[in-house]
Amino acid sequence: MGQFFAYVAVITVKENNYVA
């Protein structure tokens, strides 16, 4: 469960970086 959230967090950060 922890790994899943960590993976989602990384994807979210990358998406935000691309948008910004």
Q: What is the pTM of this model?
A: 0.31
Q: Report the pLDDT value the prediction gives residue 2, as an integer from 0 to 100.
A: 84
> How many angstroms separate the CA atoms of 15 and 11, rounded?
6
C-alpha pair distances (Å), 17 with each of 2, 5, 6, 10, 11: 23, 18, 17, 11, 10
Q: Output the pLDDT for position 19.
A: 67
Using alpha carbons, list the distances in angstroms from residue 18 to 1, 2, 3, 6: 26, 25, 23, 19
Distance CA 20, CA 5 (A): 22
Tokens of 5: 């959230």
Q: Convert the pLDDT of each residue in 1-20 to its tens digit.
A: 789 999 999 999 999 887 65
